[in-house]
Structure 1
Amino acid sequence: MTNPNPKSLTVPPQRGSLRERLPSLTVLGPLLALILASAFFATQSDRFLTGQNFSLILQQVMVVGVLAIGQTLIILTAGIDLSNGVIMALGSMVMTKFAVEAGVNPYLAVLCGLLTTTFFGLLNGLLITRIKLPPFIVTLGMYNIAFALTQLYSNAQTVTGLPAPLTFFGNTFRVGNTAISYGTVLMLALYFVTWFVLTHTAPGRHVYAVGNNPEAARLTGIPTQRVLLLVYTIAGLIYGIAALLLVSRTGVGDPNAGQTENLESITAVVLGGTSLFGGRGMLFGTLLGALIVGVFRNGLTLMGVSSVYQILITGILVILAVATDQLSRRKA
């Protein structure tokens, strides 16, 4: 017998829709933390709420912020990269030594540095996808390899006297009374482009699918190994861009750079709400995570607080972010 009122079998579409449309805690958390931190430091220092200070914060986080883009892509696939900071350092040494000591055209030197970091990203991806080694082990080993190669190639010597094209992104332009660096603009542009690819293209959705459930993604026809290889390769290219920003900001090629940036990039990703278990997170959350760390360091410095407490607070924030992710996963 047919139901005389088939509409009675359907669930009212508006019931519970408001709750479902509200952003999750992992989305609102980073933004709320950034707002509260900014409000607190604004009460502690008159210099905090100035355009010049916010521009300084963006300049201070732009290198780690770009590294964190590549780290986000990898963590979305349930991987991790411990080698990104030293790969960046190796790329920066290739750029600077080629341009200064080998007399290579500066633009070609930059290209060589980008190719170097991209190659190491590709190598990470091949070891993970072809030999099936865990990302943690592969990138931990690559950390030591890249660090050693950087020291050997540079003879542990800093490169100075860089040509103008290598330091361009450290230059600034003025908006009103605020000086904004070109590197900051490049960082924000990279976030926008990567966000668009992740959210509006099929390859971007494949990244989330692989991180959420690789076997289910494979059964639906997604080439999971190819996606992983592409992610690690693109991450390597992004590390090269971070190397250029590092050189532009410091004005030298420093072989000792990048040794802690791997942890700082992971911190930005975690604080931004991206799950370490893969498949869930927002790229702009990573930017908020990097800004949270930058705001805390800047604000505590203005207050005259020791850098030790800055590290302590950052560690507490990371644990809270991971705990929030775990609780939200259990509820789901």
Structure 2
Amino acid sequence: MTQNISPPTSALDLAAEFLDRRTPVDRLRGLLHRYPVISPAVVLVLAVIVFGSINPRFFAPANLSLVLDQVSVVGTVAVAQTLIILTAGIDLSVGAAMILASMVAAQTAADAGLPAPLALVVGLVVALAAGAINGLLVTRLKLPPFIATLGTFNAFLALSLLYSGGQTVRRTDMPDLMTWTATAIPVGDVRLTVGAIIMLALYAGVAFILGRTAWGRHVYAVGDDAEAARLAGISTSRVLMSVYVAAGAVLAIAAWIQIGRSGAASPNAGADLNLDSITAVVIGGTSLFGGRGVIWGSLLGAIIVGVFRNGLFLAGVDGLYQTLAIGILVIVAVSVDQWIRKVRK
């Protein structure tokens, strides 16, 4: 008697069966896990619609230009912060390192009379050194990134004040190239500053590096599971060191943009950049636990913060409530990240 034997179930059939059993909530969570940029994109669209309906002036080209100009410094610093958070670290010294680089570059040009290109190179060297110090503390002394960068935050800030004597270097004391990033370029009805264009170009470059190079894959691997990455043959210490140095290079660019935007180099500028950059990265969907996130999400996060501040201002909301709204946004973003991380694999 012939017995019908059903063929073995293939892996694709098993996967299809598993997907069919998932609830809509599980599917949504899985989608957000695969594409973390969706969440901030939705928040940004909703914010633009709401604030535009509250005050039509929000859509004025001059106002949109202002928002992007305000975002240019925080957005650039957020690139450096994203690289570090992707490795499951955090950098509390980004603002102080940027200030130190800007003060050294500006005073070298103003007081020492060094040509602007060389002064900017000196600022770059200072920022690279700051990143290297953080990297050494994390990779050689094995200090937790939070503690290491909390210490260097105070050190870099003190060095900025000591080097500058607490004095501001003004636009009139510096060559034009130092403030060139403030130059506005008309794009239709919107006027983009050179600093904003540099920021956008930086995002495009870092997105390519993270998505298309072995170094980028190693950054994600170290952040996802450092021990597994080490067993796979990746030099985790070397990757971490390179990430902190790369972050320093980005901060040098941010310093240049900051000088142009404020028209001066001040040791008191950018005091909130440490927390603002973390806010942008978290709202942008990059996980604080490392290994998950998209660089473009940080840009969206920085724009969301800028849109909320600008929209609430146009709506006549007090500045304290603006800060409260940003704080709530951060809490919601981290809560969503925790929820997404529970996705069934």
TM-score, normalisation: structure 2: 0.91
Counterpart residue number, 2:205: 193
Corresponding residue for 1:11? 12
Match of 2:187 in 1: 175
Contact 2:37/2:296 (8 A) holds in 1: no
Amino acid of the residue matched to residue 221 of structure 1? G
Provide the rounded CA distance (Å) in 1 between the counterparts of 2:93 and 2:270.
9
Alignment check: 8 A CA contact 2:32 2:39 kept: no
2:262 maps to 250
Partner of 2:248: 236
Letter in 2 for 1:64: V
How many residue pairs were aligned?
330
One of 234, 237, 246 as aligned partner of 1:225: 237
User: How far has the Cα of 1:34 moved from its partner?
Assistant: 0.5
Cα drift, residue 55 of structure 1: 1.7
How many Å apart are 1:245 and its aligned residue?
0.2
Aligned match of 2:49 = 39
Distance 1:51 1:98 in 2: 37
Question: Cα deviations across residues 267-304 of structure 1 (Å, max 9, x unaligned)?
Answer: 00000011101111111111110011000011111112
**Structure 2 residue runs without a partner (length 5+):** none
Pair 1:163 & 2:164 matched: no
Deviations 1:108-165 (A, max 9, x none): 0011001101101001001110111111111000000001000011110111122110
Report the equivalent of 2:273: 261
1:13 Cα offset (Å): 8.5
Q: Which amino acid aligns with 1:314?
A: I
Aligned match of 1:207 in 219, 223, 243? 219
Residue 59 (structure 1) aligned with residue 31 (structure 2): no
For residue 180 of structure 1, report the CA deviation from its aligned partner: 1.2
Q: For residue 119 of structure 1, what is the amino acid of its counterpart?
A: A
1:182-209 Cα shifts (integer Å, max 9, x gaps) = 1111000000100110011110000000
For 2:340, the aligned partner's letter is S
Which residue of structure 1 aligns with residue 153 of structure 2?
A: 143
- Alignment of 1:131 onto 2:132: no
**Aligned residues of 1:66 and 1:242 also touching (Cα < 8 A):** yes
Query: Shift of residue 175 of structure 1?
Result: 1.9
CA–CA separation in structure 2 for the residues paired with 1:290 and 1:264: 8
After TM superposition, give the deviation of residue 45 of structure 1 in Å.
1.0
Amino acid at match of 1:236: G
The farther-off stretch of 37-46 and 12-21 is: 12-21
Q: Deviation of residue 330 (structure 1)?
A: 2.6
Aligned pairs (5 A) from 1:262-281: 262-281=274-293
**DSSP 3-state at the match of 1:48:** helix
Q: TM-score, normalised by structure 1?
A: 0.95
Does the CA contact (< 8 Å) of 1:271 and 1:321 recur in 2?
yes
Taking only aligned residues, the RMSD between alpha carbons, in angstroms, comes to 1.9
Residue 81 of structure 1 pairs with residue 116 of structure 2: no
Q: Contact conserved, 2:284 with 2:298, CA < 8 A, in 1? A: yes
Matched letter for residue 62 of structure 1: S
| Partners of 2:182 and 2:194 within 8 A in 1 | yes
1:285 paired residue among 297, 303, 306: 297
Q: Does the CA-based 8 Å contact 2:104-2:123 persist in structure 1? A: yes
Identity %: 51
Return the alpha-carbon distance in structure 2 between the equivalents of residues 66 and 291 of structure 1: 11
Query: Which residue among 306, 314, 319 is the counterpart of 1:294?
Result: 306
SS at match of 1:273: coil
| Partner Cα distance (2:188, 2:328) in 1 | 37
